[in-house]
Amino acid sequence: MPEFALIKPERVFSYFEEICSVPRGSGDMEKISRYCVEFAEKQNLKYYTDSYGNVVIYKNGTAGYEDSEPVILQGHLDMVCQKTEDCTIDFTKDGLDVYVDGDYLKAKGTTLGADNGIAVAMILAVLESDKIAHPPIEAVFTIDEEIGLIGATVLDKSVLKSKRMINLDAEEDDTLTVSCAGGNDFTVKIPLVREKAFGNVVKISLKGLKGGHSGVEIDKGRVNANNLMGRLLNHLKFENDFRIVSVNGGDKTNAITNSSKAVLCCEKGDALCEKINSYLDVVKAELSGREPGFEYKVTVLEACEQEVLNKEVNDGLVYFLACVPEGIIRMSAEIEGLVETSQNMGVLKTDEKEILIQFAQRSNIKSGLDFLREMMTRFSLCVPCESSSSGYYPPWEFMKDSKLQKLYKDCYEAYYGEKPKVEAIHAGLECSVFSAAIEGLDCIAIGPEMSGVHTVNEKLSVSSTENTFRLLISILKRMK
C-alpha cells in the first residue's frame, strides 16, 4: 500500500460537515468567508482577504520542500441553493441537513453543496495536517463562482506567486480536465414599432423538448425551442401574410430552451392554423428519435383589433430567428469530440417596449469566441436593433507539454493501476480566469464523483472523495 494511503480522510468530512452548517448561497458570502479567515487564524497561517470575500491562505512547504515551487489549491465557496416545496430551511440562516445513504452523502430537501464545498474541505484538511508532505501552498477560496466566476475575476492575482494550480471543481474521479470554454453573453434589443391590425389571433405553443445546459449538453442533439419557433415562422412566411404580436421563450441564457410561444394576427386564422399543424406534424416525426416528448398546440381566437409589429420589424425578426447561428458552430480539430465553439439562444422575450434576445456564446479558444461575437454584431444589422456583449470570461486553452498533467497521470496510474480519462469541457471553470491572468500557469482540474449538482438530488460519493483526497496527497508529495 502506498504511504499516502495511510493518511486518513476523516478530517475532510469533518470540515465538510462544518461547511454545510454555514449559509453560503451565491451572493451571501460573508459567513463562509469569515469561517475561512477564522480557520487561518486558528492555524496561525498567513492569509489575505479582499472586500469581496475572497480568501487566500498561505502555508510554507514542509521539511525538504521549503524551496520548492508553490502550488495553488483552489475551490469556490458558494453553492446553488435549491430546495423542495415542503422544505422549511432558510438558506440565509440555516445549515443543511446532511445524511449518509450507503456510499453517498445527501441533504434532506436541498442541494448538498458538494459543488464546491468538498473542495474547500479537502484543502482545509491539507492545510491543517502536519503529516502531509507538500510544497508551499496558496489556498484560494473564491466567492460567487456559480453566478459568473465573479470571485475569480475580481481577485487581485498579484497576491499569488505560483505558476501551477490544482482546481478541485471537477465531478468525475476518473477524469482529468485540461481545458474549458470561455464565455460571453450577447444581447439584442429590438425596439417595438407597432401598428393596429384586424384579424384572428393565432396562439402557438411549442413544449416538451428536453432542454439542458448549453455547455454540457450542446452536443446531445437537443432542439432549442426558440430556434424551432424561428423555423416555423420562416416556413409560414413563404405562403402566409401574418404579423407577430409577441414571441417568448426561455429565461436563462445558458439553458437550452425547452418551450416557446408566439401570438400572431392574420386575416384567415383557420387557414394559418391548418398550415401550422401540417408543418409541425412533419417536424414532430422528424424529431421523434431525439425529442420524443415534443408537443405543440395551436389555438385560433375570434377576430379583433390587435397591436402588431410593423412590417419592417416583423419581417426582420422572422429572418433573424430563422437564420441566426445556433447550437454547435465548430468542432475542435485538436481534441476529438470536443465542441470548440457554440451559441445558445436562451432568452426570447417581448415586453411593452422591446423584444429582448439573449445568447450564451462559448468557445475553447479565444479567437473563436472573439469571431463569434464579431459575427453576431454584423448579423444583427439585419433587423433594427441595439446589440451588446457582457459577462465575458476567457477560455482555458489546452497546454501541450504540461508537467502537471503528466504528474497527475503518473500518480493516478500508480494509485488505480490504469490511466485516467483526459477531457476538455465546453462549460466554464475558474481555471479560465486564472490561466488568463497568470502567464504560463500550468493548471489541472480534478474532483470526486458527484451527481445531480444544482438540484435537490445532488449526492457525493464517500469512497470517491477518500480516493481523490489520497490522490491529491500523492501529487503534493511528488511536487519537490
Cα separation of 457 and 468, whole Å? 22
- Alpha helical stretches, state H, 43-191: 114-128, 150-154
Residue 78 bears catalytic tag: yes
- Please name every residue paired with 190 in a beta bridge, in sequence order, or none if there are none: 355
Fill in the DSSP letter of residue 419.
P
- Crossing angle of helices 114-128 and 462-477, rounded to 10°: 40
Q: What are the grid coordinates assigned to 366, written together?
A: 479565444
Instruction: Say if residue 224 is preceded by a cis peptide, omega within 30 of 0.
Output: no
Catalytic residue among 115, 144, 145, 169: 145
Secondary structure percentages of the chain, helix, strand, coil, to 5: 30, 30, 40
Q: Is 31 helix (H, G, I), strand (E, B) or coil?
A: helix
| Residue 32 backbone phi and psi in degrees, to 5 | -75, -30
Q: Is 420 helix (H, G, I), strand (E, B) or coil?
A: coil
Q: Is 75 helix (H, G, I), strand (E, B) or coil?
A: strand
Angle at 148 between CA 461 and CA 471, to 5 degrees: 30
Residue 397 bears catalytic tag: no
Q: What are the grid coordinates assigned to 384, written together?
A: 433594427
CB 310 within 8 A of CB 202: no
Q: Is 397 helix (H, G, I), strand (E, B) or coil?
A: coil
CB 318 within 8 A of CB 233: yes
Q: What is the DSSP pairing of strand 260-266 with strand 243-251?
A: antiparallel
CB 457 within 8 A of CB 84: no
Which positions are annotated as active-site residues?
78, 145
